[in-house]
Structure 1
Amino acid sequence: MRTRSRIRLAMASAIVSLTFAGLPAQAQVFVGQLSGSQEVPPVVSPGTGTATVTLNGNFMTVDVVFANLLGNSNAAHIHCCAPIGANAGIATPLLTFPVGVTSGSFSQVFDMALSFNYSPGFLLANGGNALQARNTLFAGFANGTTYFNLHTSQFPGGEIRGQLLQQSSVVPEPISMVLLGTGLAGLGALRRRRRHDGDDSSA
């Protein structure tokens, strides 16, 4: 009876270990506070906004809110790779970004393993290879050289811009917590079973 309990306990420990090993990739979050003063050269605009980019595996989620633009929005992009105060080419065009408005929001998930999620110039600069383009872009996020730029009718070069800076190293995914909880619950149940088996054998 005790041998079987030890086997069960070992199996439960293995389950917990595999749960940790099999957790999905953790997300990295980058945020840019948007303003005209960050444009290069700076522009005078009451426009404000926030761009949040979440990287998780091959996927890039872009969430943007903006308001009080002087011109109507006509394009938005993620640029790479340049530090604050410098310009860089377009890495990813946000083709479904709302146009013709002065306030609004945007949210979309991009699979960065797909070539069409890069500008032709950025893809060409990375050998026409989506994997290489992804690595370059994600490295740009990591070293703080990506930025979001919102172009308008009044400021074709960009009315508000923000450098995308890392806010959180890791964000545990809900599914990770579920898997971990399941493994620990199994371990606890088998420990209780072990105590119960011990009581039965001594009765």
Structure 2
Amino acid sequence: MKKVLSALALAASTLALAPAAQAADIYRAVSSGPAESPPNGSPGSSVATIEIDGTTLRAEVPFQDLLASTTAAHIHCCTTEAFTGVAPVAIPLAGFPLMVTAGSYNATLDLGDPAVYDPAFLASFGGTASGAGSALLDAMNANQAYLNIYTTRYPNGEIRGFVVAAPIPEPATWGMLGIGLAGLALMARRRPGSISQAPRPRA
């Protein structure tokens, strides 16, 4: 029994150690036409990854099947309720691919730089990057920020998706968990006769 408990502790420790290797916070934004406000029938889609590491924001935004050519993309903040409503532009995604219906955007932004934010958004949070950045992170954790991709056909946005904390462990986490579970299985197999049956009472 002690060996089995040790193996369980090993599996638990691998999960406990995994987040230390993954210091950044990972978010996803799954965008579609029906998620727009108002909704539309665009077949376009995007599953964006936003990684926050200190004041560094890394965005990876693949997109496809848009009905018209792109004109801009923004991160918006902050709606009054989670997963609903509209909000002003917080961060314009500078350098987003334009006049295409599919592509990918990858950028690293410094949330400590006031120039990253839309001027009106910056002003509404004290005119400082720290104030604007804190408000954006709070909204992302509260599901009150979203990604919006605009096109010529949909000037108010063809597809959008609210930013949510990614619940899926990274591949390294799964690998470490697998090692722990393998250790558990090995410990259990080494004691085939460890479980004894209690004597049956005589009739």
| Structure-2-length-normalised TM-score | 0.70
Q: 1:157, 1:85 → 2: CA distance?
A: 16
2:72 maps to which residue? 75
- Runs (4+) off by over 3 Å: 168-171
Q: Is the 8 A contact 1:29 1:169 kept in 2?
A: no
Q: What letter is aligned with 1:163?
A: F
How far did 1:119 drift?
0.2
How far did 1:85 drift?
2.3
**Residues 152 and 136 (structure 1 numbering): CA distance in 2 closer, same or farther, change over 3 Å?**
same
Where structure 2 has 5 or more consecutive residues not aligned to the other structure, the ranges are 1-16, 173-203
Where structure 1 has 5 or more consecutive residues not aligned to the other structure, the ranges are 1-19, 174-203
Matches within 5 A, 1:182-193: none
The structure in which a higher percent of residues are helix is 1
2:107 maps to which residue? 108
1:147 maps to which residue? 146
Q: Percent identity?
A: 34
How far did 1:150 drift?
0.1
What value does the CA root-mean-square deviation take over the aligned residues?
Answer: 2.1
Q: Are 1:50 and 2:47 an aligned pair?
A: yes
**Residues 169 and 120 (structure 1 numbering): CA distance in 2 closer, same or farther, change over 3 Å?**
farther
Q: 2:52, 2:160 → 1: CA distance?
A: 20
The total of aligned residue pairs comes to 152
Q: 1:169, 1:148 → 2: CA distance?
A: 20
Q: 1:99, 1:168 → 2: CA distance?
A: 31
Q: What letter is aligned with 1:27?
A: A
SS in 2 for 1:85: coil
2:94 maps to which residue? 95
Q: Are 1:33 and 2:30 an aligned pair?
A: yes
Matches within 5 A, 1:153-172: 153-168=152-167
| Structure-1-length-normalised TM-score | 0.70
